Chains A and B, each alone.
Chain A
Amino acid sequence: MWDGIIIGGGLAGLLAGIRAAERGKKVLIVSEGVGSLTYSSGVIDLGDAERLMNQKSHPYALLGERVVRSAAEYFQTLFPDYWGNWREPQFVLTPLGSPRKAGLIPRGLNTQALSETHKIILMALEGMKDFFPEVAKSNLLKAYPQAEVVLHPFRVEAFEAWYTLGKPITGMDCGKYWRTASGIETLKGVWKSLDSFEPDKAVVIFPGLTSVFSQPLREVQSNLPFSVIEMTAFPPSDGGYYLYRGLVQKFKALGGELLVGSGVKKVELKGKQCHKIIVNSKGKDSEFSARVFVLATGGIFGGGIEVTLEAAKEMVFGLPPFVPSGWTNSEFLGEQPYARMGVETDNQLRPIDSASKEVLLENVRIIGRMLAHWDPWVERCGGGVSLASGWFAGEQV
């Protein structure tokens, strides 16, 4: 018997697990895959929190300012590598080299120095997949017109075979390489090679380098006479991946168990209580019982809600999702009504019936992308809602 079982191991689920485990609870997380964090850039988007807190039915409004703030602060105490606060946006560079707003960011991504410098050196590891130095350069020139942008292409011997074969070096390959012992040595050489560029007067942008959660990398950088700015990456991104690793390690160190690669097939209910989940293991099912269950299956993208031509279905408990009346708009990058689909809850995050507002399951909490009435892409609050609802659920286990 577990104190809490969390279904879904993305940002919301892991944070809920960590919070609960930290409170001394025995927690199991069951996750179909590695969650969506590797598609994210590893920065936490909080969105325009003040506006969203006043937007009817939005998860921020449901949870209230205290929860949103506490969750963000809690995340930062877990990961002091993350900068920012829940009210003031930070700026980071997109993979295209243009600045964009974000809530909490790994230190290395902070772009502040770019606004003040007159010279930007853009490092470009040859053969890197999904990074386009020329495009990034032209966007940097647009965003920081006071600065000159120097492109600095370079090769790394470790990837010689990649160059010969024309195999792309993925951002993830880069991120992992710079963390190895030989990668760190190479990096020191790369910094040396910049000497002739008078780097002390410049700011250096280094795509593919992710120093978050790496003590040795941060040490190398702190000894440099210039500032180094990292970029967010095109997915799958190492920034997102290392955040995922960081969360998993924290969770395991607190005694939590993570079961990745299997989905929940069925649940057993008694009245308005769930007492058991049945996991689709190889060969036969595995059963796990708990006092509290947290549903963090990632909405449509995570597979928590399946939509057919006929209907939308919540896949674990069979809860009736809220389905918006409109479905799509012609402008792809604009508002898309379907995205606000999700499970409606009371302010304890327990699922409710849309019409009667009656609580459907007493010991189940709905978190993250499973919640209704929000859209992480137009509201840019994906990280914030996941943290706030995850933290809140972790308190409830």
Chain B
Amino acid sequence: MNKLDSVKNLDACIKCSACTSQCPVAMVQPLFSGPKSVGPDAERFRLEGIDIDPKCLSYCSNCKTCEVTCPSGVKITEIILRAREKASLAAQKSGTTRLQVRDLVLGRAEYLGRLGTIWPGLTNGLLKVYLVRVLMEKILGISRRAPLPPYQAKFKGIRNNKLVPNHRLSKAVVFFPGCFINYNDSLTGQAVIKVLEHNGYDVIMPNFHCCGVPLQANGKFNEARGNAKKNLALMNPYLQSGVPVITGCTSCGLALKEEYPNLEVSGSELIGRQAYDLFEFLWELQEGGGLKQDFQEIPVSLGYHAPCHLKAQGIGTPSVRLLRLIPGVRVSDLDTGCCGLSGSYGYKQEKYDIARQIGEPLFQRVQEGVRIGEFQSMATECGGCQVQIEHGSGIATKHPVWVFMQAYGLSPEFL
């Protein structure tokens, strides 16, 4: 946001407190005074040179519920993130070492993921060992109770980096899998590719880096921008040919649409327009009559949780629309707030309980839904939400693309 826009953005706040009243963190964390207070209220003083304690800012989980809620369109999370960036620059000299190491590790989902996937079996074993988790908590500040996802062999796509001839680029897409698919859930990555290929698309998958969201959330703003630039460079040739970039992760998707266009490098002017959530893309096919309709009946009833970062994209819930096209599928959109995890937020020792409390109404709703037979299992696009919902409610939770793969009669290739 440039200076002119940020002035206008702050002016739009009418001090109604709707944001704070919907903030999942402020409700359960007495140390957090809420998005209005540390966002637009404090911003008027920051402009005068009076900064607030960076600790107050760090309680924001970056879920963006405030932005979605705000009736005046104020970019509250963005105000808070920028203030954090400023504060983190100022505090770099005085921060405590332990938390710095932790932010380094959680911020680098990719780094952690790479370590894990070299010997997935070993790492997963280690992560389950209580002693190891206690040590991680003591040394790194990563909560021993938090649901760290197991690591799988790194997702390599089906035919990694295959070359698509120029004349076929009009029926090609770039797939941006994101760290969760890459390191923790490669089968879902395969499902995405299968579904896209079934609809006649060649799927291109350059060797992308982490999108940058976890880095940003952990105060590593420069590294986040560095990753974004590397990724944009990998996408750029395809962007220039008009090839869409498809994400299976809603947080990566939001970053591509919201953060990448602000970078001053080639391709940034295109990425916002060419980035698609998987289901947003499929829905556009459907609207244009291009979506394959050869669905087999799947008698399944699902509870659906819309991830916060999908809501923030402002595209509605295209997966629900599409799931309802499949014969036999019933979907209840639960609409019960945030799961609490917010990427790496819920892994932090001092925030684990907050995350758990935030998600509680959702977990209860899920359990209740299953108990009364409203649905059998859960679907949500975000990997973090999947892990947290399973952890909190004990109900199996998967990416909705699995239902599509099944309905198309496809199955993943086990590598």
Contact = CB atoms under 8 A, between A and B. Distances in A.
A222 interface: no
Interface stretch (B65-73, B120-128, B133-141, B395-403): B65-73
Contacts of B68: 33, 260-261
Interface in A274-333: 279-284, 286, 289, 302-303
Contacts of A261: 67-69, 311-312, 314
Contacts of A54: none
Contact of A283 (B20, B258, B335): B258
B273 A32 contact: no
B273 to A, nearest CB: 4
A172 B316 CA distance: 26
Nearest to B64: A261
A162 B32 CA distance: 10
A170 interface: yes
Interface string A161-182: 1101101001011001000100
B354 to A, nearest CB: 12
B21 interface: yes
B22 interface: yes
A252 interface: yes
Interface string B2-38: 0000000000000011101110000100110100000
A283 B18 contact: no
Interface stretch (A34-42, A44-52, A371-379, A387-395): A34-42
A235 B280 CA distance: 36
B22 A34 contact: yes
Given A241-B21, A282-B258, A259 B314 contact: yes
A389 to B, nearest CB: 20
B257 A284 contact: yes
A117 interface: no
A280 to B, nearest CB: 7
A260 B335 CA distance: 12
A38 B18 contact: yes
A265 B272 CA distance: 16
Contacts of A32: 71, 73
Nearest to B273: A284
A38 B16 CA distance: 10
B312 A257 contact: no
A28 interface: yes
Given A236-B16, A261-B312, A161 B257 contact: no
A348 B246 CA distance: 44
A393 to B, nearest CB: 21
Given A165-B31, A261-B311, A283-B272, A170 B70 contact: no
B305 to A, nearest CB: 13
B313 interface: yes
B18 A236 contact: yes
Contacts of A241: 21
A41 to B, nearest CB: 14
Contact of A162 (B30, B271, B324): B30
A163 B315 CA distance: 41
Contacts of A162: 30
A259 B316 contact: yes
Given A34-B18, A36-B71, A39-B16, A279 B30 contact: no
A262 interface: yes
Interface in B73-131: 73
B261 interface: yes
B321 interface: yes
B320 A257 contact: yes
B69 A33 contact: yes
A2 to B, nearest CB: 10
A55 interface: no
B41 interface: no
B339 interface: no
A65 B22 CA distance: 37
A347 interface: no
A352 to B, nearest CB: 28
Interface centre among B16, B31, B67, B70 (most CB of A within 10 A): B16
Nearest to B283: A286
Contacts of B196: none
Interface string A242-278: 0000001100110101111111000000000000000
B271 A33 contact: no
Given A32-B71, A302-B71, A286 B22 contact: no
B360 to A, nearest CB: 8
Contacts of B287: 1, 289
B275 interface: yes
Nearest to B317: A257
Closest 6 CB pairs of A and B: A283-B257, A262-B314, A33-B71, A261-B68, A283-B272, A259-B316
Interface of B: 16-18, 20-22, 27, 30-31, 33, 67-73, 254, 256-258, 261, 271-275, 280, 287, 311-317, 320-321, 324, 332-333, 335, 360
30 contacts: A28-B316, A33-B18, A33-B68, A34-B69, A34-B71, A38-B18, A39-B18, A167-B30, A170-B21, A172-B27, A176-B27, A180-B360, A249-B335, A252-B333, A257-B316, A257-B317, A258-B316, A259-B316, A260-B311, A261-B67, A261-B69, A262-B314, A262-B315, A281-B315, A282-B257, A283-B273, A283-B313, A284-B257, A284-B272, A284-B273
Given A235-B16, A253-B332, 16 more contacts: A32-B71, A33-B70, A33-B72, A38-B18, A162-B30, A257-B321, A259-B316, A261-B67, A261-B68, A261-B311, A261-B314, A263-B73, A280-B314, A283-B261, A286-B316, A302-B71
Interface of A: 1, 28, 32-36, 38-39, 161-162, 164-165, 167, 170, 172-173, 176, 180, 235-236, 241, 248-249, 252-253, 255, 257-263, 279-284, 286, 289, 302-303
